[in-house]
């Protein structure tokens, strides 16, 4: 299949839209920013935004995967226990804590990226990476049903769940992280 290059104007507009969205989200919050505003700020028609990103969730996912790249780096080639070198069980616990922090930090963006009726929402973008990583660690640790448990763990760290937890338990995120790390370890050993 011929890998058709992205046209110059399309590339320019893509960057403009991403920059505009990032700026508006920072200035006035994710919830108060409309797609029209993003398009206007980017100096671009609304149709262009939708052609490129599909919908709001797609735009959010794009922004998010940029930010997730850094965490992916730390996992693949950073120091243990998050990176390679530690026991699978420890790595999984470290991942749970780190991923919780990531989700909590970008909560509204993640929430947006998961919303909408676009088939299997979050199941696009970087989600595959997280799932793969967890499933791999679980199977290394000799757990049963590694694929299923990977998804179970990630489901416990979904935006809805995290929102609920931080909203209810307030600032006690570190206790939560500890509990989730214990949970991850349990999943890996049994």
Partner DNA sequence: TGACGAAGCGGACTGTGGTCCGCTACGGTC
Partner DNA sequence: GACCGTAGCGGACCACAGTCCGCTTCGTCA
Q: Which is nearer to its own copies, 17 or 153 (CB)?
A: 153
Q: Which residue has the tokens 């769940």?
A: 161
Using rule CB under 7 A, residue 7 touches DNA: yes
- Scanning 118-172, the segments in alpha helix (DSSP H) are 127-140, 146-156, 159-169
Nearest Cα residue to 100 out of 172, 153, 157: 157
Residue 99: what are its φ and ψ, rounded to 5°? -70, -40
- Contact present, 188 and 141 (Cβ < 8 Å): yes
Q: What is the CA radius of gyration of the chain?
A: 18
Binding site for its own copies (CB under 8 A): 31, 114-115, 117, 119-123, 144-145, 148-149, 151-152, 155-156, 158, 160-161, 163-165, 167-168, 176, 179-180, 182-183, 186-187, 189-190
Interaction between residue 113 and DNA (CB under 7 A): no
Nearer to its own copies, 41 or 131 (CB): 131
Which of its own copies, DNA, none does residue 77 bind (CB under 5 to 8 Å by kind)?
A: none
d(CA 48, CA 131): 32
Between residues 28 and 186, which has the closer beta carbon with respect to DNA?
28
Q: Which of 22, 55, 101, 151 binds DNA (CB under 7 A)?
A: 55
Stretch that binds DNA, among 40-48, 79-87, 98-106, 122-130 (CB under 7 A): 40-48
Segment near DNA (CB under 7 A); pick from 55-63, 131-139, 145-153, 179-187: 55-63
And the tokens for 124? 């696009």
Q: Look up residue 159 and give its two tokens.
A: 């935006």
d(CA 176, CA 174): 5
Q: Which span (32-40, 68-76, 87-95, 129-137) binds DNA, by CB under 7 A?
A: 32-40
């Amino acid at each position: 299949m011929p890998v058709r290059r992205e046209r110059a104007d399309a590339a320019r507009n893509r960057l403009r839209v991403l920059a505009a969205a990032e700026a508006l989200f920072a200035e006035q919050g994710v919830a108060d920013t409309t797609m029209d505003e993003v398009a206007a700020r980017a100096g671009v028609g609304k149709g262009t935004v939708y052609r490129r990103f599909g919908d709001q969730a797609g735009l959010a996912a794009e922004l998010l995967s940029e930010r997730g790249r850094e965490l992916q780096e730390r996992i693949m080639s950073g120091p243990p226990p998050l990176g390679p070198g530690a026991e699978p069980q420890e790595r999984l616990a470290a991942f749970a804590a780190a991923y919780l922090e990531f989700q909590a930090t970008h909560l509204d963006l993640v929430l947006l990226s998961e919303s909408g009726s676009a088939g299997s929402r979050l199941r696009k973008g970087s989600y595959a990476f997280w799932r793969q990583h967890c499933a791999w660690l679980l199977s290394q640790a000799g757990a049963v049903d590694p694929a299923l448990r990977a998804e179970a763990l990630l489901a416990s760290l979904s935006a809805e769940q995290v929102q609920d937890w931080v909203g209810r338990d307030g600032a006690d995120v570190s206790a939560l992280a500890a509990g989730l790390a214990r949970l991850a370890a349990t999943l890996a050993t049994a």
